[in-house]
Amino acid sequence: MKYRVLLNTDTQLFTVVDTHNSSSYANGKTIEEAVSKLKLTA
């Protein structure tokens, strides 16, 4: 799975977005947490 990683500096949350489906994304306090949540939705 390929994904983009974004950091919201106001909330300090990472967002990972599936590069093949931009409507598929997940948030987490760490990149690893966000990626694992994204994999559960995929």
CA 36 to chain centre: 8
Quote the pLDDT of residue 42.
72
Sign of CA dihedral 34, 22, 20, 6: negative
The angle formed by the CA atoms of residues 24, 4 and 20, to the nearest 5 degrees, is 50
The pLDDT tens digits along the chain (42 residues) read 899 999 999 999 999 999 999 999 999 999 999 999 999 987
Q: Which domain holds residue 32?
A: 3-41
pTM to 2 decimal places: 0.89
Quote the pLDDT of residue 41.
86
Sign of CA dihedral 9, 14, 18, 23: negative
Quote the pLDDT of residue 1.
84
Edge-to-edge strand order for the sheet containing 13-18? 3-8, 13-18, 25-28
Number of domains in the chain: 1
